[in-house]
Structure 1
Amino acid sequence: MAGHSMQRRCTGTVRNRLCAKKGRAQDHHSTDLRSWRGRIWGRTHCSQDFTGKFSCVTGDCGSGKIECSGNSGALPATLAKFMLNGAGGFDFFAISLVDGYNLPMMVTPQGGTGQN
Structure 2
Amino acid sequence: MKSYDERDEIGYLDDNSGYHWHGGKWNYRRVELWAKERGLLGESAVEYYRDTKAQTLKLMEEVGELAHAVAYRDEQGLKDSIGDCAVVLIILAAQNGMKFEDCLNYAWDEIKNRQGKLEDGLFKKD
> Scaled by the length of structure 1, what TM-score is found?
0.22
Between structure 1 and structure 2, the one with the greater Rg is 2
Q: Which has the higher helix share?
A: 2
1 or 2, which has the higher strand percentage? 1
* Higher RCO structure (Cα 8 Å, ≥6 apart): 1
